[in-house]
Amino acid sequence: MLTVFYYALALTFCAFFALLKWNSLRYSRKGMPPGSLGWPFVGETLKFLTQGPDFMKESRSRYGNLFKTHALGCPIVVSMDPDVNRYILLNEAKGLVPGYPDSMRKILGTNIAEVHGAIHKRIRGSLLSLIGPIAVKDRLLPEVDEFMRSYLDNWGGKVIDLQEKTVEMAFFISMKAVVENEPNSFVESFKATFDSMALGTISLPIKIPGTQYYRGLKAREKVVTMLRELLAKRRASSATHDDILDHLMRNEDGKHKLDDEEIIEQIITILYSGYETVSTTTMMAIKYLCDNPSVLQAIRDEHFAIQQKKMPEERISWDDYKNMSLTRAVILETMRLASVVAGVMRRTTTNDIELNGFIIPKGWRVYVYTRETNFDPFIYEEPFTFNPWRWVEKKDLESHNHNMLFGAGGRVCPGKEWGMLKISLFLHYFVTRYRWEEAEGNKQLMKFPRVLAPEGLHIRITNY
């Protein structure tokens, strides 16, 4: 009897160790970076998501700047070396293409991250002509100004959830640029569907009715149908428009001609890419200003100086925007300190790749983790202090090789200036019109894997 018990115990131990080694055996190759692949299927997902930055730091101290792990359903090499990170982002042609999680790829479709080489060049060229710096200066600026001016009306005397308001702002302003003059009922119902789609992109890809992923896939179908109907409506009408959809359909420059499916993907890309990044940065900038009264006073001075030179209803001009140097610094400092983007994902496609003396097998993900660089004391003195002046005093900090707040290389953010403008004008009208303080009872903010106020960020607002 006892022998059976010992056999069973030995078998359980063997099964346990085989299971523990399963991932290592499955993925083992000579010359790969050090690291642990954890349990089968789940790998180290739990540690990755719950301990985030601490997990990265601990793994780095154990294995070095380049280590392997297994999270979110796939084997990953994490790179925390700023030079290697830059090399990866600058060398897409060597087979390191964007490699976002499956849920994101399946729901977002053939969007810009899924195309490479000549097709990427054409899609990106089209995008830059619509939302790049020249379009911002020549076309988008008055629209952003008009939107912010009215969006930030009548907030005095209220308690608002800043997170909800900045999310709404980021979506409506992009939507207005894409399709002007659509009725509110359409925009509201489109937003609800789009939000459900966007939530699906950050879920586990389990395609069973009831899951967030399944709802996301269904929402994508509806988003595509709604956009197809919009295209058909435009074609059937003789009315003229001055918005992104019209520019895409008319394709005046002829250089970046897109077919209907590509137009729809382009619109989804514009609405998706500039959504959470803009809303989160705006929310966090206001939070940091609230916590740093001397910076708030200085930024108010900057905006009142601009306002005093203008008539009450006069628009913000390009020169005014370019003179908002402290505001730009506040935005960059917010992105750095809150690490709005913790890193970007790549995957090896064509073959195994050698990186810093290690082999990265074909098909693996590479997490270009840029968050640590944001706190490098050699680049940012007293890195945990909110000090926007560092960006004003050291003008070349924004173009520093290791500043990857907007990525680097051929995929560097094409919406940077548009995003900067939206946040700057939100801050302009907010700080010149209102005072505010945090309401009681806000839960602690989450910083990883996304910056999030779990139950909202409530603030009490009074007129200035």
Binding residues for ligand HEM, per CB under 6 A?
98, 112-113, 124, 127, 131, 269-270, 273-274, 277-278, 281, 335, 340-341, 344, 405-407, 411, 413-415, 418-419
112-115 contacts at long range (C-beta below 8 A, 24 or more positions apart)? 112/265, 112/269, 112/273
What gap in Å lies between CA 282 and CA 323, rounded to an integer? 19
Nearest residue (beta carbon) to ligand HEM = 415
Nearer to ligand HEM, 32 or 107 (CB): 107
Nearer to ligand HEM, 131 or 296 (CB): 131
In sequence order, the β-bridge partners of residue 437 are 460
Q: Is 413 annotated as a binding residue?
A: yes
- Smallest separation, CB 222 to ligand HEM (Å): 21
Nearer to ligand HEM, 71 or 268 (CB): 268
Nearer to ligand HEM, 135 or 219 (CB): 135
Nearer to ligand HEM, 70 or 347 (CB): 347
Nearer to ligand HEM, 386 or 426 (CB): 426
- Smallest separation, CB 283 to ligand HEM (Å): 12
User: CA nearest 375: which of 447, 273, 282, 446?
Assistant: 447
User: CA nearest 449: which of 48, 82, 3?
Assistant: 48
Task: Read off the tokens for 359.
Answer: 């082999």
SS (H, E, C) 126-187: HHHHHHCHHHHHHHHHHHHHHHHHHHCCCCCCCEEEHHHHHHHHHHHHHHHHHCCCCCHHHH
Question: Contact 449/433 with Cβ under 8 angstroms?
Answer: no
Question: What's the CA angle centered on 323, arms 378 and 149, to 5 degrees?
Answer: 115
Nearer to ligand HEM, 112 or 326 (CB): 112
- Smallest separation, CB 54 to ligand HEM (Å): 22
3-state percent helix, strand, coil for the chain, nearest multiple of 5: 55, 10, 30
Characterize the bridge pairing of strands 74-79 and 365-369. Answer: parallel
Q: What is the DSSP string of 66-92?
A: EEEEEETTEEEEEE--HHHHHHHHH-G
Nearer to ligand HEM, 175 or 379 (CB): 175
Cα–chain-centroid distance for residue 102? 17
Task: Read off the tokens for 228.
Answer: 């197809």
Q: Which residues contact 118 (CB under 8 A, 6 or more apart)?
A: none
368: phi then psi, degrees, rounded to nearest 5: -80, 90
What gap in Å lies between CA 317 and CA 325, rounded to an integer? 14
- Smallest separation, CB 241 to ligand HEM (Å): 19
- Smallest separation, CB 151 to ligand HEM (Å): 16
Q: Which residues are annotated binding-site positions for heme?
A: 413
Q: Which residues are annotated binding-site positions?
A: 413
